[in-house]
Chain A
Amino acid sequence: MPDVIVVGGGLAGLSAAMKLAENGCRVKIVSVTRCRRSHSVCAQGGINAAMNLRDEDDSPYIHAYDTIKGGDFLADQPPILEMCLCAPRIIYMMDRMGCPFNRTSEGHLDFRRFGGTLYHRTAFCGASTGQQLLYSLDEQVRRYEAKGRVERFENHEFMRLVLDEQGVTRGIVFMDLFNLKLDVLKADAVVIATGGLGLIYKKSTNSTFCTGAANGRLYKQGMKYANGEFIQIHPTAIPGIDKLRLMSESARGEGGRIWVPGDSSKTITNPEGKEVPCGKTGEPWYFFEEFYPAFGNLVPRDIAAREILRLCEMGLGVDGQYQVYLDVSHLSERSLKKLESILDIYTKFTGDDPRKVPMKIFPAVHYTMGGGWVDWPAADDPDRWDRYRQMTNIPGCFNVGESDFEYHGANRLGANSLLSCIFGGLVVGVEVPRYLQSLSSTSQETLSSIYSWALKKEEDFKQDLMRRNGPENVHKLHDELAEAMIKHVSVKRNNVDLAKTLETIKTIEERYKQITIDDHTRFANQTYAFANQFDAMLELSKVIVKGALMRDEFRGAHFKPEFPVRDDEHWLKTTIAEYDPKEREPRISYVPVDLRYLKPTLRDYSQAKRVTPHLENIPANIKLPI
């Protein structure tokens, strides 16, 4: 039975672990927290699958079309098509595991509407779908654990990949977060499923584990990082001191309306380019419903975030501040019941009851579309079986879930993240055993000096950090990094400030060498653990900023007013960032996007009607992982 390491215990990691165990591997899960506490629990609204249970003529092909269009054509199309084809099976699989999906009165699965689509395509469990899906997978993995097929290393952190002389993956170096002990785990395949990097912006909707450190460390070891500049800003979050809590899109899916007090003395350019008054003074102005009659409050997230910012910049925000109303007070008892848990969150953190007064919300950093570059040979590619899906450019190192770059292009559609995580995990569960069979030698034969060298590299860095003795404080450097990133590298970007931010990060890097770690103990030392992560976070910050600086166009979540249109001629290509130890900036190159099923069209949400898309060249030999 071969050993496989899965780093990360969220939806993607657990889905991979389960499928790998089912396929005869012995799995070791390494996670900085208890798997059950992973960030997947925060996903509220639901999971997409075009099952057409409401007879709307929905199909996985339309789901694929919506996903490709939602991502502004930047995503490779073959993995999206297979994900959407597999989605109904994934829902049934999760259903069979006992995941408590909401039900129709007859006892079938219930579906709701979500952003960027006109179909009831989103299955859900109350308003904590991610939590419920995660628990169901955690339970299946526990079942394999009881059989001795899975071993968990929770409260352990991935520090580095161990590569042999040929640059092939042979294991990892990891650290026990309680006693700070570094150690080696051997395996011939490593699956990275470590989620997003919201913590680079400090305050985001992400959990505090989501530093992006694992991907940053891998990038420094030679992993290509793709589309770093694409960071999703969620339009509706609750402002807070410690974090920005998500107010799920499901609040709008159930009929929630966004408005600001109207002001007819002001005018604004609508999406058709006409100058119109900002509603009527003294009345709520439901600007999304006016601007986007077909999608209304359910326009895709990037559009929603930009419109909210635009209005607030004009002084139209509630109380003149950067906030708008999200109103569910008019909804029926039945709808409010479905939203109970998210509405409770609002009450808990603000003291106001959204059943009675409209919520005050503002956009927040939410999702990392970019991530580790991974391969995807399509079903009808002649070399399909010579390559491995979800494998990075480092042989034996796979990447799935939010930490990879696939599936979402320039912008992710709501309720597609849970799907992409589970699907990616299942794919890995099939591809990794195939990769292992292709190997001519195993980690058992790898020289012990390879492992001891890797371990020593990490020991040395630990000593270096612990011994630093300068005037800087790593948490304050983090504040400065986040301030620059939020101001210049979130909803709206411009080249002057992006260039400045890149320089700011380099200064922070210099000052990082002058930190002192306030905690000198060797036990559960969180300041040390964070200081170590911060090194990798700085590297990925530069990847985000440089990618954004170079991309002179407006595509999905990347909005640069100086270049206000999508420029397919020059920029319909995937950004690849590579680490160069001799340079202080990432090396950026580009690869073409795989557009084999659908030619790019304009991404218009103002007039959208239900369309039956025509996808070309669909392979006949697609084999899904379940």
Chain B
Amino acid sequence: MNENTFTLKILRGTPNQQYWEEFILKREPFANVISCLMYIQANPINSKGEKVAPVVWEQGCLEEVCGSCSMLINQRPRQACTALIEPILKETGQLTIVLAPFTKFPLVRDLIVDRSIMFDNLKKVHAWIDMDTTMDRGPGPKISPEKQQIMYSISCCMTCGCCSESCPQVNEHSEFMGPAPVAQVRLFNAHPTGETEKQKRLLPMMEKGGVTECGNAQNCVRVCPKKVPLTDSIAAIGRDVILQSLENLFSFPEREQ
């Protein structure tokens, strides 16, 4: 071990059979966690000099738009592609970087977890516009640039799961869907066409697992790699849920379809 090398300490294995393994790597300018994992994949030798099975992880675009390579890096949920080695070593003053899989999703193997639930939740909250058909009907509704900006900022959510991982309310005793689907409800309810199905999206938000289970820890917005306005969205949907419950209370049954 010297100044020209550093250690990647990785929590590996399958459910109930996890273990730590260390790898020693050369320090290189602009290296990131992915380039280090790629090196280990081709040269799977651990710090004891033993040949081991290569570490497995999820990756895709490597430019932080696909959301694949989420993991805990020094305990912080983030994308591995933007985790540059040198700034991390400098910031921590340590020559070891710790990698671990997310803990709020079922483990598959090594750094891979199964994030299916995030996609199931998109179905639950009706996260789409109910377009008639694809056939030509001219342009969609006009939208102001200001509104487009907000919609775009929410629509940049890449379902990476960092928000859920950081959220204390997402745990085995709660059914909280996490912050990401709440923001999607805001996105589609804000759209002039999407607004017509507003109730379908607010309903799951009122139920168990909905927006009321947010504990306002605000971790989500701090870890979100895309700066999605998560807490603003939670506040907005919280308000809409109250209005909707009042409306439900006082509306005549025939108004409901």
Inter-subunit contact A349/B60 (CB<8 Å): no
Give the shortest distance, in Å, between B19 (CB) and chain A (any CB): 14
CA–CA, A455 and B30, complex, Å: 44
Interface positions of A (Cβ within 8 A of B): 18-19, 22, 33-34, 36-39, 41-42, 89, 92-93, 95-98, 100-109, 125-126, 128, 131-132, 135, 139-140, 142-143, 145-146, 178, 207-209, 240-243, 245-246, 341, 345, 348-351, 426, 473, 475-476, 479, 518-521, 523-527, 626
Query: Is the CB–CB distance between A34 and B61 below 8 Å?
Result: no
- Set of chain A residues within 8 Å of B158, measured between Cβ atoms: 36-37, 41, 131
Cα A89 to Cα B143 with chains together (Å) = 18
Q: A242 contacts B108, CB within 8 Å?
A: no
CA distance A96 to B137 in the complex (A): 9
Residue of B67, B87, B138, B191 touching A92 (CB-CB under 8 A): B138
Interface status of B129 (Cβ within 8 A of chain A): yes
Are B143's CB and A42's CB within 8 A? Answer: no
Cβ–Cβ contact A93 & B64, under 8 A? no
Report the separation of the CA atoms of residues A368 and B42 in the bound assembly, to the nearest whole angstrom. Answer: 26
Closest B residue, CB atoms, query A246:
B63
B219 within 8 Å of A (CB atoms):
no
Shortest CB-to-CB span from A194 to chain B, Å, is 14
The CA-CA distance from A526 to B158 in the complex, in Å, is 23
- The reply to whether A107 and B142 contact each other, CB–CB distance below 8 Å, is yes
Q: Which of B58, B64, B122, B129 contacts A96 (CB 8 A)?
A: B129
- A523, closest chain B residue (CB): B109
| Known contacts A178-B108, A243-B62, A518-B51: A34-B152 contact under CB 8 Å | no
Are B54's CB and A527's CB within 8 A? yes
Task: Pull 19 A–B residue pairs with CB atoms less than 8 Å apart, ordered by A.
Answer: A19-B134, A33-B66, A37-B60, A41-B60, A41-B158, A42-B65, A93-B136, A128-B156, A131-B65, A140-B131, A145-B123, A207-B66, A208-B59, A243-B63, A518-B44, A519-B53, A519-B54, A524-B110, A526-B54
Check if B145 sits within 8 Å of A349, measured CB to CB: no
Task: Indicate if B20 sits at the interface (CB-CB under 8 A).
Answer: no
Could you tell me the distance between the alpha carbons of A125 and B156 in the complex, rounded to whole angstroms? 10
A349 to B84, CA, bound (A): 7
Residues of A within 8 A of B49 (CB): none
Any A CB within 8 A of the CB of B81: yes
Contact B145 A240 (CB under 8 A): no
List 15 extra interface pairs beyond A41-B158, A142-B123, A208-B59, CB under 8 A: A33-B58, A37-B60, A41-B66, A42-B66, A100-B143, A139-B122, A209-B60, A350-B30, A351-B84, A426-B134, A519-B44, A519-B53, A521-B53, A523-B109, A526-B41
Q: Which of B31-39, B203-211, B239-247 contacts A (4 or more CB under 8 A)?
A: B31-39
Judge whether B257 is part of the interface by a CB distance below 8 angstroms: no
The distance from the CB of A308 to the nearest CB of chain B, in whole angstroms, is 21
Chain B residue at smallest Cβ distance from A107: B142
Contacting residues, chain B, for A104 (C-beta < 8 A): 145
Instruction: Using known A-B contacts A103-B148, A349-B82, determine if residue A42 contacts B61 with beta carbons closer than 8 Å.
Output: yes
B62–A245 CB distance below 8 A: yes
Interface residues of B (CB under 8 A from A): 14, 28, 30-32, 34-35, 38, 41-42, 44, 51, 53-54, 56, 58-68, 81-82, 84, 87, 108-110, 112, 115, 119, 122-123, 127-131, 133-140, 142-145, 148, 151-152, 155-156, 158-159, 187-188, 191, 193-194
CA distance A490 to B35 in the complex (A): 23
- Is the CB–CB distance between A241 and B59 below 8 Å? no
Bound complex: CA A311 to CA B151 (Å): 43
Are B56 and A524 in contact (CB-based, < 8 A)?
yes
CA distance A524 to B107 in the complex (A): 11
* A245→B81 CA distance, assembly (Å): 11
Contact B148 A41 (CB under 8 A): no
CB distance from A480 to the nearest CB of B (A): 12
Output the least CB separation between B53 and chain A (Å).
Answer: 4
**Minimum Cβ distance to chain A for residue B73 (Å):** 14
A125 (CB) vs chain B CBs: closest residue: B152
Whether the Cβ atoms of A143 and B62 lie closer than 8 Å is: no
In the complex, chain A residues whose CB is within 8 Å of the CB of B155: 100, 125, 132, 135
Given the complex of chains A and B, what is the CA–CA distance between A178 and B131 in angstroms?
Answer: 35
Q: How far is the CA of A93 from the CA of B82 in the complex (A)?
A: 34
Complex: A104 Cα to B139 Cα, angstroms: 14
Provide the bound-state CA to CA distance between A604 and B50, in Å: 59
With A104-B145, A105-B145, A126-B152 given, is the CB distance from A98 to B140 under 8 Å? yes
Q: Which residues of A contact B142 (CB under 8 A)?
A: 103, 106-108
Point out the residues of chain B lying under 8 angstroms from A426, CB to CB: 134
Write out the residue numbers on chain B whose beta carbons fall within 8 Å of the beta carbon of A128.
Answer: 65, 156
CA distance A475 to B62 in the complex (A): 18
Q: Which residue of B lies closest to A525 (CB)?
A: B56
Contact A476 B84 (CB under 8 A): no
Q: How far is the CA of A241 from the CA of B159 in the complex (A)?
A: 26
Name the B residues within 8 Å of A349 (CB-CB): 30, 32, 63, 82, 84
Using A98-B191, A527-B41 as known contacts, say yes or no to A22 and B60 having CB atoms under 8 A apart.
no
Known contacts A473-B42, A475-B41, A527-B41; A92/B136 CB under 8 A:
yes
| Distance between Cα atoms of A516 and B32 in the complex (Å) | 27
Residues of A within 8 A of B128 (CB): 97-98, 139-140, 142-143
Q: Which residues of B contact A34 (CB under 8 A)?
A: 68, 115, 119, 159
Q: How far is the CA of A348 from the CA of B83 in the complex (A)?
A: 9
User: What A residues does B56 contact at CB under 8 A?
Assistant: 519, 524-526
Closest partner residue, chain A, to B154 (CB atom): A100
Whole-angstrom distance from the CB of A496 to the nearest CB of chain B? 30
A42/B134 in contact, CB under 8 A: no
B122 contacts A142, C-beta separation under 8 Å: yes
State whether B63 touches A132 (Cβ < 8 A).
no
Q: Which residues of the partner chain B approach A97 to less than 8 Å between Cβ atoms?
A: 128-129, 131, 140
A242 CB contact (under 8 Å) in B81, B115, B123, B145: B81
A178 to chain B, nearest CB (A): 6
Shortest Cβ distance from residue A326 to the other chain B in the assembled complex, whole angstroms:
16
Taken together as a complex, chains A and B put the C-alpha atoms of A208 and B66 apart, in Å, by 11
Docked Cα-Cα span, A36 to B58, in Å, equals 14
User: Would A351 and B87 be within 8 Å (CB), given that A33-B60, A98-B191, A526-B54 are in contact?
Assistant: yes
